[in-house]
Amino acid sequence: MAHTYTPGLKVTERTLVRKERILPLKGDVLVEAGQIVKPDDVVARTELPGNAQPLNVANLLNVEPAEVPERMLKQVGDAVEEGEIIATAKSFFGMFKANAAASMSGTIESINRVTGQVMLRGPSLPVEVKAYTSGTVVDIHPGEGCTIETWGGLVQGIFGIGGETHGELAMACEAPSQQLTPEMITPAMAGKVIVGGGRVTAEALKKAIAVGVHGVVAGGFDDKDLRDFLGYDLGVAITGTEQLGVTLIVTEGFGDIDMADKTFALLKSKAGQLACINGATQIRAGVIRPEVLIPQEAAGAGEAAANEAMLGLHIGSPVRVIRMPYFGRIGVVAALPAEPYVLESGSKARVLEVDFGHETAVVPRANVELIEG
């Protein structure tokens, strides 16, 4: 039996979306379960260690490595400025003096009496994770981040470049077949996410950057324009980290392609509303799709159940687990508990029971994807 692991692209007016907002390393979670957040709200914060740089103090002072600790003017944990004297030594009855100056600003991390080196650590780099979308915090991952849940319209694209951003959704084209050109982009579109029809040109993207547009959604994009716009061949890689000044979402593919009528009509119906977009794309294992999310008000439990039925999430649905410890395993949904489940980490999440044939496991719903046959 053949399996298609990833269902077709979603283009839906209303669906339940959950976003995990996770730090790259342990830090502080700044929100609480049940809290309402907006896209620019910082939900978690940490600090990345600064760059480390060794300084051979023994050579600079012309002393034995074991003598370095007693020659130090600064100790482990002390802050130093670039060029500041951190160690000194006198020789030939005190007539000559040698100094060792810090090669960078930061702190002294270690003093090694075996090698005679002093390790300097640069200032920490603050890292903040924002909510990305408006919604409700439904789960806290202690020291790591949170899960945000929201109802809204969702359009998944084929390809994107640029990272997360948001703005008011505005129509730049009147029809799904209309090409998005520079003259259609006006200063009034600054800070907005604009929707084109067919292909968007590289010149139009450059105009969007100049105007201050946050995002562009279009049906197609030429691969030559992409190469000219980026200045290099993209290759097979994950996108989303480009610092271009605008995020692009392509809904249909490469070439002179019209936007699908359904997609265009949906986006047009949401004009004037907040749109949260992310151009991150990965076409290899662990597929990541670019998206346009138009968050809306929360829904009741009855609508949540109806939505899950619409998406085909029910007992007997074939699913594949996309995260450890059951990554890659295929099974069927055996149960859909209504209440949040306490995971081993101590956090709560909505889960389902998956029957793998010889065993059954409890898996967070965010860790599975539906399989279409």
- What is the CATH classification number for the domain harbouring 116? 2.40.50
Q: What is the DSSP string of 12-80?
A: EEEEEEEEEEE-SSS-EE---TT-EE-TT-EEEEEEEPPPEEEEEHHHHHT--GGGHHHHBSS-TT-EE
Q: Are residues 112 and 33 in the same domain?
A: no
pLDDT of residue 165: 95
Q: Are residues 140 and 92 in the same domain?
A: no
CA nearest to 147, candidates 338, 364, 358: 364
End residue of a domain, out of 296, 320, 345:
296
Bridge partners, residue 140, by sequence: 146
Q: Which residues are CB-neighbours of 139 under 8 A, at least 6 positions away? A: 33, 146, 147, 340, 347, 348, 349
Take residue 301 and report the two structure tokens written for it. Answer: 């439990």
End residue of a domain, out of 121, 154, 181:
121
End residue of a domain, out of 235, 266, 296:
296
CA nearest to 280, candidates 268, 269, 297, 292: 292
Residue 189 belongs to some domain of the structure: yes
**Residue holding tokens 């081993």?**
344
Q: Are residues 269 and 245 in the same domain?
A: yes
Q: Are residues 181 and 260 in the same domain?
A: yes
Q: Evaluate whether 189 touches 213 at the Cβ level (below 8 Å).
A: yes
Q: Are residues 213 and 116 in the same domain?
A: no
Q: Are residues 107 and 135 in the same domain?
A: no
Q: Are residues 100 and 144 in the same domain?
A: no
Residue 3 belongs to some domain of the structure: no
Residue 186 belongs to some domain of the structure: yes
CA nearest to 335, candidates 362, 311, 315: 315
pLDDT of residue 228: 82
Q: Are residues 107 and 225 in the same domain?
A: no
In eight-state DSSP terms, residue 284 is: S
Owning domain of residue 237:
11-47+129-296
Q: Are residues 139 and 245 in the same domain?
A: yes
Residue 274 belongs to some domain of the structure: yes
Q: Are residues 224 and 317 in the same domain?
A: no
State the Cα–Cα distance between residues 69 and 66, nearest whole angstrom. 7
State the Cα–Cα distance between residues 118 and 260, nearest whole angstrom. 62
Q: Are residues 58 and 37 in the same domain?
A: no
Per-residue pLDDT of the chain (373 residues; tens, 9 = 90+): 333 333 457 888 888 999 999 999 999 999 999 999 999 999 999 999 999 999 999 999 999 999 999 999 999 999 999 999 999 998 766 567 899 999 999 999 999 999 999 999 999 899 999 999 999 999 999 999 999 999 999 999 888 999 999 999 999 999 999 999 999 999 999 999 999 998 999 999 999 999 999 999 999 998 888 888 888 777 666 787 888 899 999 998 888 889 988 899 999 999 999 999 999 988 765 678 899 999 986 544 444 444 544 455 688 888 878 777 887 788 899 998 877 888 777 777 888 899 998 899 998 887 887 765 4
State the Cα–Cα distance between residues 369 and 373, nearest whole angstrom. 13
Q: Are residues 351 and 233 in the same domain?
A: no
The total of other beta-carbon atoms located within 10 Å of residue 87's CB is: 25
State the Cα–Cα distance between residues 95 and 219, nearest whole angstrom. 78
Instruction: Domain count for the chain, please give it.
Output: 3
Residue 16 belongs to some domain of the structure: yes
